[in-house]
């Protein structure tokens, strides 16, 4: 492919056949992966051979406790009703239910809000009222 065709392809935002992403997004992802590889190489924190290497905060990965036949042990907040706020604004709260409460890696806590949305515990602040008592384990 000549330079003019390559530029036209990138600028027209046709999707990359390998990733399905627009070409510029695919190029940016690859650049981020190279930067992350270099950072981890210098820090001595590259994963062992065969382990996944994703950019920090990347959307995909491998977690040994999650698979077709395994799931992390769940904690005591599973099924509990909670009050949720965002950005520490306690004047506005939403109610929800904890639908995942990992007691081991990867340590995710997911909340299903009563309005149907799902949020991660790292995206909000939440509290479990003393009277919360819903059992989702059955």
pLDDT in tens, 97-128: 999 999 998 899 999 999 999 999 999 999 98
pLDDT for the residue 136: 57
- CATH value of 65-138 in 1.10.3470, 2.60.40, 3.30.450, 2.30.30: 2.30.30
pLDDT for the residue 33: 72
Contact between residue 72 and residue 102 where contact means Cβ atoms under 8 Å apart: yes
Residues of the chain with pLDDT under 70: 1-26, 29, 46-60, 131-138
- The predicted model scores a pTM of 0.53
Among residues 127, 117, 121, 137, which one has the least CA distance to residue 81?
127
Domain extent listing, the chain: 1-62, 65-138
């Amino acid at each position: 492919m000549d330079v003019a065709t390559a530029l036209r392809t990138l600028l027209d935002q046709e999707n990359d056949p390998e990733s399905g992403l627009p070409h510029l997004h695919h190029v940016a992802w690859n650049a981020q992966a190279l930067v992350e590889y270099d950072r981890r190489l210098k820090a001595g924190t590259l994963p062992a051979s065969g382990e996944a290497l994703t950019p920090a905060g990347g959307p995909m990965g491998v977690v040994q406790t999650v698979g077709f036949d395994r799931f992390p042990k769940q904690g005591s907040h599973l099924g509990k009703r909670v009050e949720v706020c965002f950005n520490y604004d306690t004047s506005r709260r939403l109610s929800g239910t904890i639908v995942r409460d990992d007691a081991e890696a990867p340590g995710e806590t997911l909340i299903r809000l009563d309005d149907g949305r799902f949020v991660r515990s790292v995206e909000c602040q939440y509290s479990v009222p003393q009277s919360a008592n819903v059992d989702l384990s059955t």
